[in-house]
Each structure stands twice: as structure tokens, then as C-alpha cells.
């Protein structure tokens, strides 16, 4: 980070950077392993009819997309 910034801004920047990096990663793991809620229950019945694969596979794909590193 730029050396001219106040140290409080530097702390906030790192807290946001870590929080916004860890949050989606943990959400992706949860969607992939279906730990907390039943994620397939959140998919619209219409979407389940249209999808060429199961709702669980759809959630696995969504979990992998959330886990992947961002640039």
C-alpha cells in the first residue's frame, strides 16, 4: 500500500482485503460441500427443469466459481 496513507486506513484496507477474500471462499466451500443449508432448495423449480444436470451439480459449479481466485 502507498506509504503516504494513515496507518488506520492501512488497517482498514487489510481488514477489507482479507474479509472480502475469505468470505466468498468460505461461501463457495459451503455450497460445494452443502454444510449449512440445503442449497438445492434455493434453486427455482423452473430452473431445475431447464438445467441439463441436477441441482446439486449446479451448486457444485457455483461453489467452484466462488472458490476460484479473483484477479
The parent domain of residue 39 ranges over 24-71
Residue 70 has pLDDT above 60, yes or no: yes
14-69 confidence digits (pLDDT tens):
999 899 888 888 988 998 888 888 888 999 999 999 999 999 999 999 999 888 87
Confidence of residue 3 (pLDDT cuts 50, 70, 90): low
Confidence of residue 71 (pLDDT cuts 50, 70, 90): low
Q: How many domains does the chain have?
A: 1
Q: Which residue carries 479473483 as its cell? A: 70
Question: 31 burial class (0-12, 13-18, 19+ CB within 10 angstroms)?
Answer: buried
Residue 67 resides in a domain: yes
Residue 71 resides in a domain: yes
Give the three-class secondary structure for 65: helix
Residue 19 resides in a domain: no
The pLDDT value recorded for residue 35 is 86
CA angle centred on 6, ends 3 and 11, rounded to 5°: 95
Amino acid at each position: 500500500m502507498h506509504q503516504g496513507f494513515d496507518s488506520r486506513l492501512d488497517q482498514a484496507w487489510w481488514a477489507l482485503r482479507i474479509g472480502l477474500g475469505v468470505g466468498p471462499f468460505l461461501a463457495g466451500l459451503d455450497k460445494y460441500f452443502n454444510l449449512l443449508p440445503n442449497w438445492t432448495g434455493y434453486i427455482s423449480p423452473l430452473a431445475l427443469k431447464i438445467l441439463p444436470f441436477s441441482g446439486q451439480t449446479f451448486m457444485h459449479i457455483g461453489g467452484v466459481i466462488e472458490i476460484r481466485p479473483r484477479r
